[in-house]
Structure 1
């Protein structure tokens, strides 16, 4: 296959506005590969903050995606859920379907070691969940749910649902997925997880994992844990400030509030784990066809700019939105 002269990519060119831009595409070098994108996934939580220019200046460096181009706030090419086929490269990768932490772009050249070949049992259309699964794995590691514990996950978005899905597979762990949207009960049922709305949430929990992206969810989480309980905060609020009730029970019950962020491996695992091993694990956990329930919609790449404002808007109920490339 000949190398295209140009690639087309989605850029956030100003606050709450995106467009497709053409850019030169160089031929792959000796240790590089050319990937033709099949799908990319929209990681709505983080990407909505990028799209709406809500990344705090203090986090500009830490929040850079591996192949990001441009700088926050805008213009910026951002994303990290790309699945494609290797069109040029070494024989062991040629024509293989791979996952790469690359922005929304139809063709791209990356180092050969920047991709992972999909397991045979994981279809390309589901592999867009790999980055979210990686985040969920890190959250479960940080929460460290133990045999027989009572665990609530607040927020039934993609990451929260995946965290609950993983916790439910630990023997003896009693898991509840909590969301203000009662329609999320159907999603929980498809994933084999018990569901409830906030007013029916159980108390005296050993651990609460918060992933709703809303301050009310974190406040709810603090109210659900019992004595010496722990709350794991997986949401990122960008420029937003959050008011929390840290008097009363927070002190008297010696509660723990701890952040979990996928950009750093838990310290206890760092001697033996690296990011590539964690991503390999994430891909291997996507064999379950029930996870297709987390893909709430699909659009052609050409239509991405037209739907972006709605997709990243405050009223969006999208889970993982999949972008399809011609």
Structure 2
């Protein structure tokens, strides 16, 4: 059994657009805990940038279902929810066979962490550590498909091609749709959308003129103004699935005119729960198993644009905030310590 370590390097958000790397002492694992050395953690360019910018609602827990994110959004705070690592020590109540296993856990960015085994997902042997970092976003994409329930022959529009939008496009491309249209302004993401199976790519400035009577629209751009685009491209009784979380940014939407008469269905979608209509047969573990299978089939590693050491986190966040990096998915990596 490994002797473990004395400390971990944790990333903390200390004020809007300010971060710190802190060395924190770790106790020995309790009976049913494991010590995990992180290999990679994925940066969320959506919710995580809201945390960096100070745009999260202060009266809400960071996540209502994840043990590691129960605190409210007030500084100083940790954030992050996609750590892939290797178990290096176990508590007295666990078999030593756990040591060496590769695992995923919803944890803030840190070089090492302690957690109960119930908070782990074993990474399948045929999935790499970098690919495993996509588990949360792939599960989110699966949940969006479940909430939208695309029907054979429908015209489906995806607004936004960040990582979730791209993964959603890949999953929707598996359906026999009449047309799968993505709305995205960045050239590198337009190209990726086409590789993943989009039939047509439209610039946001041209969406209202080029798209009409869509049956199902997904808003995953993170931009509140995109809600009006969703309404503009919809038809009678269209379904608009809102997968973005805007934090404390105001999300106004024009529901006058045709939008009112069209009996639009606005569906808010969030991955922390399973769609109510499916709970008789689906639970989180079944959805995780499907997400692992979609990772195998969609090869999300092609979306990794940057892999940076955790020591460079301040520069990475600054460049993400200022949109100086042409980033799709950025990962932190953790050198041996």
Q: Equivalent residue for 1:296?
A: 305
CA change 1:60–1:289 in 2 (3 A) is closer
Pick from 179, 197, 202 the counterpart of residue 211 of structure 2.
202
Pick from 152, 166, 176 the counterpart of residue 181 of structure 2.
176
The alignment partner of 1:189 has SS state of: helix
Is the counterpart of residue 225 in structure 1 residue 243 in structure 2? no
**Separation in 2 of the partners of 1:293 and 1:220?**
29
Structure 1 residues 299-308 or 187-196, which shifts more? 187-196
The alignment partner of 2:316 has SS state of: helix
CA change 1:43–1:66 in 2 (3 A) is farther
8 A contact 2:131–2:299 mirrored in 1: no
CA change 1:65–1:74 in 2 (3 A) is farther
Q: Equivalent residue for 2:277?
A: 268
Q: Equivalent residue for 1:56?
A: 57
Root-mean-square deviation (CA, aligned residues, Å) is 1.9
1:155-189, CA deviations, whole angstroms, 9 ceiling, x for partnerless residues?
01011111111111012452112112233221112
Q: Equivalent residue for 1:10?
A: 11
Pick from 174, 188, 195 the counterpart of residue 190 of structure 1.
195
The alignment partner of 1:287 has SS state of: helix
- Alignment coverage as a number of residue pairs: 326
Q: Equivalent residue for 1:138?
A: 143
- Cα displacement (A) at 1:56: 1.2
Q: Equivalent residue for 1:94?
A: 99
- Cα displacement (A) at 1:143: 0.6
- Cα displacement (A) at 1:27: 1.4
- Cα displacement (A) at 1:316: 5.6
Pick from 235, 244, 248 the counterpart of residue 235 of structure 1.
244
Is the counterpart of residue 257 in structure 1 residue 266 in structure 2? yes
Pick from 217, 221, 224 the counterpart of residue 212 of structure 1.
221
Q: When the two structures are superposed, what TM-score results if normalisation uses the length of structure 1?
A: 0.93
- Cα displacement (A) at 1:7: 0.7
1:131-152, CA deviations, whole angstroms, 9 ceiling, x for partnerless residues?
1111111111111111111100
**Separation in 1 of the partners of 2:75 and 2:334?**
24
Pick from 148, 156, 170 the counterpart of residue 161 of structure 2.
156
- Cα displacement (A) at 1:216: 2.6
8 A contact 1:167–1:173 mirrored in 2: no
8 A contact 2:38–2:85 mirrored in 1: yes
- Cα displacement (A) at 1:314: 5.7
CA change 1:27–1:272 in 2 (3 A) is farther
Structure 1 residues 76-85 or 93-102, which shifts more? 93-102
8 A contact 2:61–2:69 mirrored in 1: no
**Separation in 2 of the partners of 1:264 and 1:69?**
16
8 A contact 2:10–2:109 mirrored in 1: yes
